[in-house]
Structure formats: structure tokens, C-alpha cells
């Protein structure tokens, strides 16, 4: 097993990652929750696009996003899913930075 394989396995065996994957399956298998989550992502993309283009539809898209988000936040599993998503993403970013620093040190020495 390579060091990369060991790292991937360690990440996949992390309790937070396992719970995140479990919640992701639950959300994907719940038609209404999945539909609402996809609507949130789509609306979020619209907001970013409208911001970039200074589009007058921005305020309406932001309102829509907030309404969908508030609806999703009524579901306790969704809140846990989002918290774990942020936690896992932050950990992966930190790991990436550590790897990049180590590679920089190797190339400079």
C-alpha cells in the first residue's frame, strides 16, 4: 500500500467523513430533501453569477436562496450534514496546505 493509499484510507475511516457520507446518502434518498438541496445549490450558483454580472435579479435570487436555506434548516439532519461538510472541507484544506508546504520544503532543500 502506497503512502497515498494510506492517506486516502485514513481520511475515509475518519468518523466525521463516515457520518458525512451516511448523511449524504440519506439526503440523496429523500426525494424532497434532495430536491430542495439541489435547488439551494442551483440558486447559490445564480447568486454568484448575478453578483459577478451586477445583474438586477441578484436581490430576488438572494431572497430565494434564503427561503430555501431556511426550509432546509428545519431538517436536523441537513444542519448536521452542512456542519460536517464544512468541517471535512476545512480539514482537507489544511491537509492540502500541509502537503504543499512539505513539497515546497523538499524542492527548496
| 33-54: pLDDT as tens digits | 999 999 999 999 999 999 999 9
DSSP string for residues in 39-98: HHHHHHHHHHHHHHHT-TTHHHHHHHHHHHHHHHTTSHHHHHHHHHHHHHHHHHHHHHHH
CA distance 92 to 89: 5
| 66-105: pLDDT as tens digits | 999 999 999 999 999 999 999 999 999 999 999 899 889 8
Does this model's pTM top 0.85? My answer is no
Q: What is the pLDDT at residue 62?
A: 98
Gap between the terminal Cα atoms of the chain = 27
| 14-24: pLDDT as tens digits | 999 999 999 99
Domain ranges in the chain are 3-108
Q: Which CATH architecture fits 3-108?
A: Up-down Bundle (1.20)
Amino acid at each position: 500500500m502506497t503512502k497515498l493509499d494510506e492517506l486516502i484510507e485514513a481520511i475515509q475511516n475518519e468518523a466525521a467523513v463516515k457520518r458525512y457520507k451516511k448523511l449524504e446518502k440519506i439526503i440523496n434518498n429523500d426525494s424532497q430533501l434532495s430536491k430542495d438541496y439541489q435547488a439551494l445549490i442551483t440558486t447559490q450558483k445564480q447568486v454568484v453569477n448575478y453578483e459577478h454580472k451586477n445583474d438586477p435579479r441578484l436581490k430576488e435570487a438572494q431572497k430565494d436562496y434564503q427561503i430555501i436555506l431556511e426550509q432546509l434548516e428545519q431538517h436536523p439532519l441537513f444542519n448536521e450534514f452542512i456542519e460536517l461538510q464544512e468541517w471535512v472541507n476545512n480539514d482537507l484544506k489544511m491537509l492540502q496546505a500541509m502537503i504543499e508546504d512539505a513539497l515546497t520544503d523538499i524542492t527548496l532543500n
